[in-house]
């Protein structure tokens, strides 16, 4: 009986050179099976245009072979022989990539929610190993957000890759039910440099976590992907615009794209293009095509409101002067970004002003808020951090952190709730959590608080000589002309009830 031919799932020599001593999770090939050229590496999945599709991408060394994906129900797979007769076959395209490789792009369609699948990639004759892919319910689901892995930024690709693998391992071990991961740019470091280094070794490091064969990645290009074509050749993004978000210096570095998942529209912007009107036109078009979504989330690399060294950069100030007004006009609920290598959560922002007059329920959820929430992610690999700048309190900052520890965020979302919690990977403790609730009910006056009453423990101490505890009476007549009973305090928030 002939052995099933297998494609090498990575260049072993390259993997051994780069990742000797790192977790075995980086081993791309199944070494107990026959390995043949053409070699294949950097396998990744991206969300499709909606939850019924996934977009696959990989590098291969062959020039004339086809780009083929087979998908089957996991229940039809016996663990050894791929269920060819019950599988769907999808064909795609191939084009020239970096380093004498070719990029393969295939879209698999017709996927059902809450279903387990297996898939393999190849040329129709020789095949990769078999990988798993699970879909989840779209009415309520979870996803990860990571900032600036920037593999290679520390000067040590092995170290940065190990930190990135550790973050993905810990995130997926704690939360195994995530539908996808959003990476807010600067996946690698040397994409910014116009040299003979095509940064493929850094991309091998970025794609090293084995989870990325099963966990879709929705990535936007950062400034370190702004010149070379590696971003486009490594990711297969849906609804990719051929008009908006193109970076003028090098159009092959990406553009704006969008996808939907459940009742959420994700607007993925190439912020290397500083033409805000282009991004506005793109978002208007995407929103018009998806008028019934409950949430609109914008994702870009460059931080709009952040707390570290980039906050005063001229290009950041320019974006801050233009993009928030556009987000306001389009009703964007949340903006996710990176670039500043420090964590910042803003107040709800509108008209470039903090909207501190919000309704908070007893669980500290923000009810039917005005304005947009902005989250700036810290580094997810630990390859580089930036220090927080003075002043100690910017007008937009609700919470900020620089612990010099890799972090990631997990979002849970349904029709009425958007909840984001950020974790540090050394202890897996949450450093910040925030929930927006959309509903059509207004809480009674006895159960509400306007957040501009008190927002930090420092403000509480200014009211009283010591930090109050639950049940204390607080006289805030000098602020509101009203006295309150403190229900709870912590995390930069207090919950009060009228006396």
Secondary structure of 31-92 in the HEC alphabet? Answer: CCCCCECCCEEEEEEEECCCCCCEEEEEEECCCCCCCEEEEEEHHHCCCCCCCHHHCEEEEC
User: What contacts 86, CB < 8 A, 6 or more positions away?
Assistant: 72, 73, 76
- In the prediction, which pLDDT does 142 show? 98
Question: In terms of DSSP bridges, do strands 373-376 and 68-73 run parallel, antiparallel, or are they unpaired?
Answer: unpaired
pLDDT of residue 121: 96
Task: Identify the band that residue 320 occupies on the pLDDT scale cut at 50, 70 and 90.
Answer: very high
pLDDT in tens, 286-307: 999 999 999 999 999 999 999 9
* Residue 462 binned pLDDT confidence (cut-offs 50, 70, 90): very low
Give residue 36's pLDDT: 42
Domains contained in the chain, CATH given: 36-135 (2.60.40.380), 141-437 (3.60.21.10)
Question: What residues contact residue 424 under an 8 Å CB cut-off, 6+ apart?
Answer: 403, 405, 406, 407, 431
Residue 37's pLDDT band (cuts 50, 70, 90):
low
Q: Note the pLDDT of residue 32.
A: 24
pLDDT tens digits along 444-458: 444 444 433 333 333
Q: What pLDDT, on the 0 to 100 scale, is given for residue 440? A: 66
Return the higher-pLDDT residue of 312 and 492. 312
Q: Is the pLDDT of residue 31 over 70?
A: no
Per-residue pLDDT band for 21 (boundaries 50, 70, 90) equals very low
The DSSP line for 126-183 is: SB---EEEE---SSEEEEEEEB---BTTTS-HHHHHHHHHHHHHHHHHH---EEEEEE
Going by C-alpha positions, the residue among 397, 394, 390 that lies closest to residue 434 is: 397
Bridge-based pairing of strands 264-268 and 295-299 is: parallel
> 265, 257 in Cβ contact below 8 A?
no
Q: Regarding predicted confidence, which is higher, 103 or 499?
A: 103
Digit-coded pLDDT (tens) for 381-431? 999 999 999 777 899 999 999 999 999 999 999 999 999 999 999 999 999
Mean pLDDT, rounded, for 182-206: 81
Among 259, 257, 277, 279, smallest CA distance to 268 is for 257
E strands present in 177-321: 178-183, 217-219, 257-261, 264-268, 295-299
High-pLDDT (> 90) share of the chain, %: 71
């Amino acid at each position: 009986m002939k052995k099933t031919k297998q494609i090498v799932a990575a260049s072993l020599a390259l993997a051994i050179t780069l990742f000797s001593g790192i977790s075995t999770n980086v081993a791309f090939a199944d070494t107990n099976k026959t390995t043949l050229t053409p070699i294949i590496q950097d396998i990744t999945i991206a969300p499709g245009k909606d939850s019924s599709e996934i977009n696959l991408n990989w590098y291969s060394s062959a020039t004339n072979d086809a780009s083929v994906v087979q998908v089957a129900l996991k229940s039809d797979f016996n663990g050894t022989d791929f269920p060819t007769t019950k599988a769907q076959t999808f064909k795609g395209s191939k084009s020239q990539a970096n380093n004498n490789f070719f990029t393969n792009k295939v879209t698999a369609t017709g996927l059902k929610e809450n279903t387990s699948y297996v898939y393999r990639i190849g040329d129709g004759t020789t095949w990769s190993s078999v990988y798993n892919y699970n879909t989840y319910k779209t009415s309520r689901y979870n996803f990860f957000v990571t900032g600036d892995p920037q593999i290679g930024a520390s000067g040590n690709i092995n170290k940065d890759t190990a930190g990135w693998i550790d973050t993905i391992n810990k995130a997926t071990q704690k939360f195994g039910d995530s539908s996808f991961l959003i990476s807010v740019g600067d996946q690698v470091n040397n994409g910014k440099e116009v040299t003979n280094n095509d940064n493929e070794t850094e991309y091998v490091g970025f794609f090293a976590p084995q989870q990325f064969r099963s966990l879709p990645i929705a990535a936007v290009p950062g400034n370190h992907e702004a010149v070379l074509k590696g971003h486009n050749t490594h990711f297969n993004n849906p609804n990719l615009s051929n008009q908006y978000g193109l970076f003028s210096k090098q159009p092959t570095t990406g553009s704006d794209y969008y996808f939907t998942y459940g009742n959420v529209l994700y607007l993925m912007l190439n912020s290397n293009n500083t033409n805000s009107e282009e991004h506005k036109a793109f978002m208007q078009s995407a929103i018009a095509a998806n008028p019934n979504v409950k949430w609109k989330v914008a994702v870009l690399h460059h931080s709009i409101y952040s707390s570290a060294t980039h906050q005063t950069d001229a290009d950041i100030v320019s974006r801050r002067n233009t993009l928030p007004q556009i987000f306001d006009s389009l009703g964007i609920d949340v903006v996710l970004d990176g670039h500043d290598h420090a964590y910042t959560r803003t107040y709800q922002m509108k008209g470039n002003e903090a909207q501190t007059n919000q309704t908070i329920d007893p669980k500290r959820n923000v009810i039917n808020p005005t304005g947009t929430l902005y989250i700036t992610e810290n580094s997810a690999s630990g390859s580089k951090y930036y220090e927080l700048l003075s002043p100690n309190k910017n007008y937009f900052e609700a919470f900020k952190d620089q612990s010099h520890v890799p972090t990631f965020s997990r979002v849970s979302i349904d029709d009425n709730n958007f909840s984001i919690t950020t974790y540090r990977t050394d202890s897996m403790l949450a450093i910040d959590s925030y929930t927006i609730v959309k509903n059509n009910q207004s809480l009674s006056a006895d159960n509400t608080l306007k957040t501009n009453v008190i927002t930090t423990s420092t403000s509480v101490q200014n009211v009283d000589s010591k930090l109050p505890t639950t049940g204390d009476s607080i006289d805030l007549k000098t602020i509101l002309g009203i006295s309150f009973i403190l229900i709870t305090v912590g995390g930069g928030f207090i919950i009060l009830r009228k006396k």
